[in-house]
Amino acid sequence: MILRLLTQNVEPEFRYTGGGLPKGGVMIVALVLLYFLPSMLAFAGGKRRKWKIVAVNVLVGWTLVGWIVSMVMNWAYEAPANDDGIADTP
């Protein structure tokens, strides 16, 4: 009797039938946006060194240190440009 109960195929009461966006897809999109956040901020802020920030972000951003470096590059002081477009150097 007990063996028969254990070997019976018991159907679950609720089955996921799909529909909507899977939670995994939302998480992947959120993580990709977070990964490229320093690059997006560089372009949105109009930084002159945006391509350097993108390079650091893409090449070593997968390490936490590389991502933090690219974020610090965003926040670092940027000398204003002269009238000729060349930055002042101290």
pLDDT tens per residue across span 42-84: 999 988 899 999 999 999 999 999 999 999 999 988 777 766 6
Residues near 74 by Cβ (< 8 Å), separated by ≥ 6?
38, 41, 42, 45, 47, 53
Q: Is the pTM of this model over 0.75?
A: no
C-alpha–C-alpha distance, residues 50 and 32, integer Å: 18
CB 59 within 8 A of CB 78: no
pLDDT reported for residue 79: 75
pLDDT reported for residue 18: 63
Question: What are 69's two structure tokens?
Answer: 């470096």
Question: Of residues 18 and 71, which shows the higher confidence score?
Answer: 71
Residue type at 13?
E
pLDDT reported for residue 24: 77
